[in-house]
Each structure stands twice: as structure tokens, then as C-alpha cells.
């Protein structure tokens, strides 16, 4: 049986892209990946994750990585398309690309980003072009419970980290992980958000950005 696992990385941060990855394997590859220690990317140290990402790319039957940059996220959000729907669209694109010209049955397992699994599954299905040979299952904690999804999570996180390093080199500053819970990211936003506003690295539709903008404007009024 063919198994397609799909997972995301960088869904919530204010800086950098959201990544979705899909990894297509069979039962034999699944066993091999398990022996090699493929598991949820969040439980792996960076060196091990990068080692496994390379092997996954070499051994998987197919894989796809989708990068959604802040500009696209903001554009869709401003058009009334929320992050759950954006992720459903991107997941469906991966399914459609991998399923193209395949005649075999594929078990698709997606790590569901929404608390409402049924609703999100219906949204995902509405963007899948041909599901006649597909069995689609959306689950919470799929990255922990399915090797194919674990492999996808490794590919997604690996690419997210590559993109973050590119941004840091581009702007010449370390902003941490890009998540608002990160003190380094918080300090960077306070000190450099205005300077790098035009670099396309921020998700400006996020509440954190709007609150930050409001505080800066309020500060200017007080100084005036």
C-alpha cells in the first residue's frame, strides 16, 4: 500500500513562511524509516533532523514541499481566506501533484491543523481534484502516530529552517525562531519591525503585528 503523509511547519509564527510537506512511501519504506529513527520532527535535534531529511528525500517514492510566504498569507487573509483554508488548499495541491498519473490506491494521512477535524477534512476534500483512488484521513497528532507524516514533518521543518536562515542572511540580523513566544523574536520586533517592514518577512495580518503597530503609533502621539 502507498501511504502519503502530510504535515506543516511554521503555521503560527509572525516571521517567515509556512511550509507544508508531503511524503509518499510504501510499507517497506515505512519499516526502514522507523528503523532509522524517523519520528515527529519536534522530538529530534537539528543534526539528526537534517540527516533524516536527506535520507527521506533519497528513499521516498515521492515528496513535495510547498512554501507559502507572508505576502501570500496576508493577501489571502485580507481576502477572507483564513489560515485553516490556506493550509487545506496547500495540502490539496500536494495531494493532487503526487496523485497525478498514479493508478494505485493511496492512504493519505494529514496532521489536522484545526480543532474541528470534520470541517477541515471537508474543506480539504473540496480542493482535491480526484479522490477515486484515495483514502483520506485527517488526524490530530498524526506526526507522532504515522511514520509517513513524521517524515513529512521532518521535510517541512527542515525547509522552514532553511528559509529562516536565508532571511537572517538577507537582513543581517538574528531574530530567533520567528515565533512570538521567542524572546529574541520579541526583541527584534520591538527594535527592527519598522526597518524591515518592506522586506516581506512579516505576517502583517497577525494580531501581534497589529498590536505592535498600535503601540508604536501610540508612543509617537505621546512623544508629540
This prediction has a pTM of 0.93
Per cent of the chain over pLDDT 90 is 90
CA 169 to each of CA 71, 137, 215: distance values in angstroms, whole numbers, following the listed order: 19, 39, 28
pLDDT for the residue numbered 210: 85
Which CATH superfamily, name and number, covers 2-168? Ribonuclease H-like superfamily/Ribonuclease H (3.30.420.10)
Report, as an integer, the average pLDDT of 38-44. 95
Closest to 112 in 3D by CA, of 81, 145, 72: 145
Give the residue with greater pLDDT, 76 vs 222. Answer: 76
Q: What is the mean pLDDT of residues 159-172?
A: 97
Q: What is d(CA 202, CA 108) in angstroms, rounded to the nearest whole number?
A: 32
pLDDT above 70: residue 195 = yes
**Average pLDDT of the residues of the chain:** 93
pLDDT at 205 over 70: yes
Arithmetic mean of pLDDT, 149-170: 98
pLDDT over threshold 70, residue 208: yes
Sequence ranges of the domains in the chain = 2-168, 172-219
Report pLDDT for 148: 98
Q: Tell me: pLDDT of 131 over 80.
A: yes
Domain 2-168 matches domain 172-219 at the CATH topology level: no
Q: Is domain 172-219 given the CATH code 1.10.3210 in the classification?
A: no
- List residues bridging with 61 in a β-sheet: none
Amino acid at each position: 500500500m502507498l501511504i502519503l503523509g502530510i504535515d506543516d511547519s511554521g503555521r503560527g509564527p509572525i516571521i517567515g513562511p509556512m511550509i507544508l510537506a508531503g511524503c509518499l512511501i510504501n510499507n517497506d519504506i515505512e519499516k526502514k524509516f522507523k528503523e532509522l529513527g524517523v519520528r515527529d520532527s519536534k522530538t529530534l535535534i537539528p543534526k539528526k533532523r537534517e540527516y533524516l531529511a536527506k535520507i527521506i528525500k533519497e528513499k521516498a517514492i515521492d515528496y513535495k514541499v510547498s512554501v507559502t510566504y507572508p505576502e501570500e498569507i496576508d493577501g489571502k487573509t485580507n481576502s477572507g481566506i483564513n489560515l485553516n483554508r490556506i493550509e487545506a488548499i496547500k495540502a490539496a495541491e500536494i495531494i493532487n501533484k503526487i496523485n497525478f498519473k498514479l493508478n494505485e490506491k493511496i492512504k493519505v494521512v494529514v496532521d489536522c491543523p484545526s480543532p474541528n477535524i470534520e470541517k477541515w477534512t471537508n474543506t480539504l476534500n473540496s480542493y482535491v481534484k480526484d479522490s477515486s483512488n484515495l483514502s483520506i484521513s485527517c488526524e490530530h497528532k498524526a506526526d507522532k502516530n504515522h511514520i509517513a507524516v513524521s517524515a513529512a514533518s521532518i521535510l517541512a521543518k527542515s525547509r522552514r529552517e532553511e528559509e529562516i536562515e536565508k532571511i537572517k542572511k538577507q537582513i543581517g540580523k538574528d531574530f530567533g525562531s520567528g515565533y512570538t513566544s521567542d524572546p529574541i523574536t520579541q526583541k527584534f520586533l520591538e527594535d527592527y519591525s519598522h526597518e524591515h517592514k518592506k522586506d516581506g518577512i512579516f505576517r502583517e495580518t497577525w494580531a501581534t503585528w497589529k498590536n505592535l503597530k498600535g503601540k508604536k503609533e501610540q508612543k509617537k502621539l505621546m512623544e508629540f
